[in-house]
Amino acid sequence: MQTFDFDLFVIGGGSGGVRAARMAAQRGVRVALAEVSAMGGTCVNVGCIPKKLYSYAAHYADSFEESHGFGWVGEAPRLDWEALKANRAREISRLNGVYNHLLKSSGVQIIEDWATLTGKHTVEVAGKSYSAKNILIATGGTPTVPEVPGREHAITSNEIFDLSPFPRRLLVVGGGYIACEFASIFNGLGAQVTQLYRGEQILRGFDADVRAFIAGEMAKTGVTLHLNTDVAAIERSDDGLNVRLRDGSVILADTVLYATGREPLTGGLGLDAAGVAVNDAGAIQVNAHYQTSVSSIYAVGDVTARLQLTPVALGEAMVVVDHLFGPQAGKKPRRMSYDFIPTAVFTHPNIGTVGYTEDEACDKFGQISVFRSDFRALRHTLSGSTERTLIKLLVDDASDRVVGLHMVGPDAGEVVQGFAVAMKAGATKAIFDSTIGIHPTLAEEFVTMREPVRR
């Protein structure tokens, strides 16, 4: 019988990799994890966590201004960009330590260097070879910049957190959630923000009402949005960066942020040597158990390019661990469902969504009822802000089940998370209608809408 150095060798110390390594080790198997960079992956270091911290920071300027309507007097303090960066870096460093501690205390052997597959059961790290019965690839993804003349002058979301000096004029290229979030964040922090998108409306793939509504709200706060155009070239001048557009116009910026997409991080992993198949987009192909074309090698998270969300990577990791080593005592093996996965976009205001868009619901269910409300929140009757809130429900007429729920407003992610549980359980519109709302809140509107705006 063949013996191995490890039962599981994990490549990548992001959310999925750390979860898989830790939970597998807790089942008593031998686990190693290789990571060449800071522990925690994109989410902890240059993604979800620092982005949300900066989003919090960006809200304070509006909050100070709005406080006057509630009787508070005085001038708002100015932003100390260097202090914000330092505080964020300290918190991220703390989280890196937490991840390392969780792994080591679970018995995981951490190997700090780049790992390369050399066979179906072998990995090489820093010139040393290791064998493992099973290997899990969880290397995530990385932002990309298209082949545009002057692309070397642009940055990505990896570099945005530590810019020096603060960009007074920021051009954001892209229309996805990352682009919209950073446009909102830096606008709130005090930058003059222009967002450029080659499509007809930002946030492709989201509900059409949500897309139009958030575009309007972002514009009200000061973000200048240019649609149906793209960058032709970027040139450096004494005044900054001259960004020439395809329509011939020029935008002057201090920083150009490209947020036009991410690709699976598979380069240098030795996939060919091991015989691991990838699709046309370069993502690792997996089956229902996240097993690649090589039976001993698995992959989860962004490297498979299914749904690029941290909680999805965590869920997939648990499926792999249960599949390989069995579930925890008294529990059933985990299964991963991609239906009704909630998500949030931390624009200003936030977006929270779960389930189908209106177009998707029409295509899938045929007859649906649309409930929609657009209103000014109670808070803003005194704040002076013109911000409005949008909420929307989509109901399958045949079953009465709520199949889509969307919100644009403060703390939308927090609100929608709770409703996602109800929708996952199959809640109907009748159940929504019979639920008593909490008054006065924004969320109560979800259970008080009685008449559809259209069918």
Q: What is the 3-state secondary structure (H, E, C) of the chain?
A: CCCCCEEEEEECCCHHHHHHHHHHHCCCCCEEEECCCCCCHHHHHHCHHHHHHHHHHHHHHHHHHHHHHHCCCCCCCCCCHHHHHHHHHHHHHHHHHHHHHHHHHHCCEEECCCEEECCCCEEEECCEEEEEEEEEECCCEEECCCCCCCHHHCECCCCHHHCCCCCCEEEEECCCHHHHHHHHHHHHHCCEEEEEECCCCCCCCCCHHHHHHHHHHHHHHCCEEEECCCEEEEEEECCEEEEEECCCCEEEECEEEECCCEEECCCCCCHHHHCCCECCCCCECCCCCCECCCCCEEECHHHHCCCCCHHHHHHHHHHHHHHHHCCCCCCCCCCCCCCCCCEEECCCCCEEEEECCHHHHHHHHCCEEEEEEEECCCCHHHHCCCCCEEEEEEEECCCCEEEEEEEECCCHHHHHHHHHHHHHCCCEHHHHHHCCCCCCCCHHHHHCCCCCCEC
Q: In degrees rounded to 5, what are phi and psi of residue 145?
A: -125, 125
Q: What is the 3-state secondary structure (H, E, C) of 225-266?
A: EEECCCEEEEEEECCEEEEEECCCCEEEECEEEECCCEEECC
- Terminal CA-to-CA distance of the chain, rounded, Å? 64
- Residues sharing a CB contact under 8 Å with residue 107, sequence separation 6 or more, in sequence order: 25, 26, 31
Q: Which of 362, 352, 415 is nearest to 210 (CA)?
A: 352
CA–CA distance from 21 to each of 25, 307, 320, 328 (Å)? 6, 21, 10, 14
Class of 6-142+263-325 per CATH? alpha beta
| CA 85 to chain CA centroid, nearest Å | 21
Given this model, what pLDDT does residue 1 score? 64
Q: Which of 211, 184, 165, 188 is nearest to 353 (CA)?
A: 211
Instruction: Take residue 47 and report the two structure tokens written for it.
Output: 């993604």
Bridge partner residues of 141 (DSSP): 264
For residues 324, 328, 332, 333, the Cα torsion angle rounded to the nearest 10 degrees is -20
Cβ–Cβ under 8 Å, residues 396 and 430: no
CATH 3.30.390.30 maps onto the chain at 343-447
Q: Which of 293, 289, 256 is nearest to 276 (CA)?
A: 293
Q: What is the pLDDT along the chain (455 residues), one digit of tens a residue?
A: 679 999 999 999 999 999 999 999 999 999 999 999 999 999 999 999 999 999 999 999 999 999 999 999 998 899 999 999 999 999 999 999 999 999 999 999 999 999 999 999 999 999 999 999 999 999 999 999 999 999 999 999 999 999 999 999 999 999 999 999 999 999 999 999 999 999 999 999 999 999 999 999 999 999 999 999 999 999 999 999 999 999 999 999 999 999 999 999 999 999 999 999 999 989 999 999 999 999 999 999 999 988 899 999 999 999 999 999 998 888 899 899 999 999 999 999 999 999 999 999 999 999 999 999 999 999 999 999 999 999 999 999 999 999 999 999 999 999 999 999 999 999 999 999 999 999 999 999 999 999 999 99
Bridge partner residues of 263 (DSSP): 142
Q: What is the CATH number of domain 151-260?
A: 3.50.50.60
Which letter, b or e, does each residue of 308-325 get, where b requires 16 or more Cβ atoms within 10 Å of its Cβ? bbbebbbbbbbbbbbbbb
| Bridge-based pairing state of the strands 6-11 and 128-137 | parallel
Say whether the peptide bond before residue 165 is cis (omega within 30 degrees of 0): yes
Cα–Cα distance, 409 to 344 (Å, whole number): 11
Cα–Cα distance, 450 to 314 (Å, whole number): 37
CATH 3.50.50.60 maps onto the chain at 6-142+263-325, 151-260
Catalytic machinery residues: 439
Cβ–Cβ under 8 Å, residues 192 and 168: yes
Please state the length of the chain: 455
Instruction: Take residue 290 and report the two structure tokens written for it.
Output: 């996240």
Instruction: Take residue 229 and report the two structure tokens written for it.
Output: 């155009």
CATH of 343-447, one of 3.30.390.30, 3.90.1170.30, 3.40.50.300, 3.40.190.10: 3.30.390.30
